[in-house]
Amino acid sequence: MNAVVVEHEEPGLLAERPAVILRAKARPRGAHDHLWPHWLPHGADEYRLVFDLEWGHLLSFAGFVDGQELERSEVIEIAYGETFDDALFTLT
């Protein structure tokens, strides 16, 4: 991956969690340079990453091409510190 510029946006909320929003884009270099970590949408020239402010977990990422959203993956519900029924983790 070539050099990246990361910009911070105002804090927000996602999945009812306080979150920090970052934008990452490749620095302009050459026509064949592009930003593409293997787990992000291929072909995007900019990414929007949303992290849980308390835990640091990635809650959302979106890829953009020329300002148009290409793909998004987002957590819609998450729980920390709760007790879960063991049956939730049992294959039936």
Domain layout of the chain by residue ranges: 4-89
Q: Flag whether pLDDT at 89 surpasses 80.
A: yes
Q: What is the pLDDT of residues 32-57, one digit of tens each?
A: 555 555 667 777 888 899 999 999 99
User: How far apart, in whole angstroms, are the C-alpha atoms of residue 89 and residue 92?
Assistant: 9
pLDDT at res. 19: 93
Q: Flag whether pLDDT at 7 surpasses 80.
A: no
- Cα Dmax for the chain: 53
Residue 32 near residue 45, CB atoms below 8 Å: no
Length of the chain: 92
The pTM of the full predicted model, rounded to 2 decimals, is 0.71
